[in-house]
């Protein structure tokens, strides 16, 4: 979705800057080992940036990304602002050590603050485990963890708290070439959405199935200025929603579901973050699907897409007419896009803290599939034909053929029942279709078993 133009316009007017030509480089991830750690403030050269080919760009430098670093997305989506948190290998530091620089949004040291080193192990021999080492930075905002085992299977992360918000470095692993330097930012925090310079791009993907529709959301957030600590920004799920799920965010933000409501929780530091979640809704048999889907406040741009079949159409109230497109996997889809012109009145847009809603209509849906009913009918038909042939001759070969047909019909019906239960558990089949199909299958199976017992 080309919504970054609107984000840029809003940022220019509200934050007094512009989007970066490229997003800040992601911190490096370097191989690591298992810990036996202690923290020693100022045990390494003060304010010494990482150097050499494995260095990550310093706060004001342009060093290359480390060898093997995954390519970064060059789309102009992330706002300019505070420099990103960074992790790099410094060959002048001893292997098995981590040197931390804690700074504010202006890259000025923050002294005396508590920090925590998270240590996560995941090995075949020992399984998964978590450990923590607590420390406090010195007046220069520096601390060092030493005695960490170098090797595979262990990752590290440095985090700190400020006014209830959590700020954490990317996870990384250690290398034998030297110690790791971590530059971690601790930002000022706002807790009320009305005070936050925080906007959202929303993507919604509808997957229409037999008698359910899976609704998948992706929220791409942009925070300009102080960090935003979300505490209970709540949305109601549509009636009948079930099978709620979300992908865990690397930044710690999440949606918590309870009694049909979801609340946004976590810290949004300056920059960009993503959160994905989804739920399943029942779908009544018919050619038209109407949905009212909740959105959080401050949605600057939104896109809705649905897997497209012949004769289908997609309409979203207030959106431009839907256009045909294809996903990366080649699936045909219909997409509708809305992008607000926040530049007309950015103050009014940011003053809005009311939840949004999508009014979605999909027309031209195919009739619900009835695969299990067809299977049951075929099994019953095979049974009737076999019985008819048996009554005509009654030979041993006829009896053997009927027995084989009955056994095959029994196995096919049991397989259909197993598949139906699995589809019900995953939400692919709704409660009404489940009861209808299960009744048909059980009835056919009972008749097959009765014939097997009396032959």
pLDDT band at 115 (very low <50, low <70, confident <90, very high): very high
pLDDT band at 216 (very low <50, low <70, confident <90, very high): very high
**Which of 47-51, 62-66, 87-91 tops mean pLDDT?**
87-91
Q: Tell which residue, 68, 348, 48, has the closest CA to residue 178.
A: 48
Length of the chain: 455
pLDDT over 90 (residue 104): yes
pLDDT over 60 (residue 265): yes
Shared domain check, 290 and 197: yes
Shared domain check, 112 and 59: yes
Q: Residue 248 in contact with residue 254, Cβ under 8 Å? A: yes
pLDDT over 90 (residue 157): yes
> pLDDT per residue over 341-372, tens digit each?
766 778 888 888 999 999 999 998 876 544 54
Shared domain check, 356 and 396: no
Shared domain check, 91 and 122: yes
Radius of gyration of the chain (CA): 29
Window from 275-284, 358-367, 440-449 with minimum mean pLDDT:
440-449
CATH (domain of 253): 2.60.40
Rounded to whole angstroms, the Cα distance separating 442 from 295 reads 42
Average per-residue pLDDT for the chain: 77
Shared domain check, 247 and 354: yes
pLDDT band at 75 (very low <50, low <70, confident <90, very high): very low
Q: What percent of the chain has pLDDT over 70?
A: 72
Counting the structural domains of the chain, the total is 3
Domain extent, residue 131, equals: 4-187
Does 61 or 47 have the greater pLDDT score?
47
Q: Where a domain ends, among 168, 187, 206?
A: 187
Does 419 or 221 have the greater pLDDT score?
221
Q: Where a domain ends, among 363, 382, 416?
A: 363
CATH (domain of 397): 1.20.1440.60
φ and ψ at residue 432, rounded to 5 degrees: -70, -50
Q: What is the pLDDT of residue 398?
A: 59
φ and ψ at residue 203, rounded to 5 degrees: -120, 130
H or E element: which one contains 400? helix 396-426
Shared domain check, 388 and 277: no
366: CB partners within 8 A, 6+ apart: 309
pLDDT over 80 (residue 46): no
Number of Cβ atoms within 10 Å of the Cβ of 429? 26
> pLDDT per residue over 132-145, tens digit each?
999 999 999 999 99
φ and ψ at residue 381, rounded to 5 degrees: -65, -45
CATH (domain of 82): 2.60.40.1120
Q: Tell which residue, 84, 77, 63, has the closest CA to residue 21.
A: 77
Q: What is the pLDDT of residue 317?
A: 95
Number of Cβ atoms within 10 Å of the Cβ of 126? 10
pLDDT over 50 (residue 36): no
Shared domain check, 159 and 33: yes
Strands, DSSP E only, in 124-195?
127-136, 142-148, 154-162, 165-168, 179-185, 189-190
Shared domain check, 349 and 392: no
Does 384 or 100 have the greater pLDDT score?
100
φ and ψ at residue 332, rounded to 5 degrees: -75, 135
Interval 110-133 mean pLDDT: 91
Three-state SS for 147?
strand
Q: What is the pLDDT of residue 61?
A: 33
Shared domain check, 429 and 291: no
Interval 429-439 mean pLDDT: 76
pLDDT over 50 (residue 83): yes
Taking the whole predicted model, whether its pTM rises above 0.75 is answered as no
Shared domain check, 405 and 358: no
List residues bridging with 123 in a β-sheet: 127
440: CB partners within 8 A, 6+ apart: 372, 373, 376
List residues bridging with 134 in a β-sheet: 116
Does 388 or 448 have the greater pLDDT score?
448
Shared domain check, 106 and 24: yes
Q: Where a domain ends, among 169, 187, 205?
A: 187
Shared domain check, 33 and 93: yes
pLDDT over 70 (residue 32): no
Q: What is the pLDDT of residue 56?
A: 31
Rounded to whole angstroms, the Cα distance separating 429 from 442 reads 17
Helix then strand count (H, E) for the chain reads 5, 23
Q: Residue 222 in contact with residue 272, Cβ under 8 Å? A: yes
Does 20 or 142 have the greater pLDDT score?
142
Q: What is the pLDDT of residue 206?
A: 94
H or E element: which one contains 102? strand 98-103
Rounded to whole angstroms, the Cα distance separating 455 from 452 reads 6
Please calculate the CA angle 216-220-222 and round it to the nearest 5 degrees.
Answer: 160
């Amino acid at each position: 979705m080309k919504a970054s133009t609107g984000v840029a316009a809003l940022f220019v007017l509200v934050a007094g800057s512009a989007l970066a030509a490229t997003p800040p480089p992601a911190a490096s991830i370097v191989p690591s080992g298992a810990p036996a750690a202690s923290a020693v403030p100022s045990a390494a050269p003060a304010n010494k940036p990482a150097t050499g080919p494995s260095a990550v760009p310093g706060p004001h430098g342009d060093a290359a990304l480390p060898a093997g670093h995954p390519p970064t997305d060059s789309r102009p989506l992330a706002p300019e602002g505070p420099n990103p948190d960074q992790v790099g290998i410094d060959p002048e530091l001893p292997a098995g050590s981590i040197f931390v620089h804690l700074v504010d949004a202006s890259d000025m040291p923050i002294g005396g603050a508590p920090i925590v080193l998270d240590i996560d192990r995941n090995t075949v021999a020992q399984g998964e485990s978590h450990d923590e080492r607590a420390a406090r930075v010195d007046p220069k905002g520096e601390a060092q963890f030493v005695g960490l085992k170098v090797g595979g299977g262990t990752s590290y992360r440095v985090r700190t708290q400020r006014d209830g918000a959590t700020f954490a470095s990317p996870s990384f692993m250690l290398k034998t070439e030297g110690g790791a330097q971590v530059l971690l930012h601790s930002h000022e925090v706002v807790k009320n959405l009305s005070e936050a310079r925080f906007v959202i791009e929303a993507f919604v993907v509808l997957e229409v199935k037999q008698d359910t529709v899976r609704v998948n959301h992706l929220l791409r957030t942009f925070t300009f200025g102080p960090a935003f600590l979300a505490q209970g920004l709540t949305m109601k799920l549509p009636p009948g929603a079930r099978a709620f799920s979300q992908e865990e965010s690397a930044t710690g933000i999440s949606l918590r579901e309870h009694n049909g409501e979801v609340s946004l929780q976590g810290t949004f530091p300056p920059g960009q973050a993503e959160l994905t979640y989804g739920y399943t809704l029942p779908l009544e048999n018919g050619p038209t699907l109407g949905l009212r889907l909740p959105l959080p406040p401050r949605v600057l741009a939104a896109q809705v897409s649905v897997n497209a079949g012949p004769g289908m159409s997609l309409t979203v109230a207030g959106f431009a007419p839907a256009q045909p497109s294809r996903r990366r996997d080649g699936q045909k889809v219909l997409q509708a896009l809305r992008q607000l012109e926040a530049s007309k009145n950015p103050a009014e847009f940011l003053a809005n803290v009311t939840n949004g809603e999508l009014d979605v209509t999909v027309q031209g849906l195919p009739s619900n599939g009835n695969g299990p009913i067809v299977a049951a009918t075929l099994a019953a038909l095979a049974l009737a034909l076999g019985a008819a042939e048996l009554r005509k001759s009654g030979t041993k070969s006829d009896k053997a053929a009927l027995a084989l047909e009955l056994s095959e019909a029994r196995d096919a019906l049991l397989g259909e029942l197993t598949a139906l239960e699995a589809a019900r558990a995953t939400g692919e089949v709704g409660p009404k279709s489940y009861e209808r199909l299960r009744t048909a299958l059980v009835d056919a199976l009972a008749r097959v078993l009765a014939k097997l017992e009396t032959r």
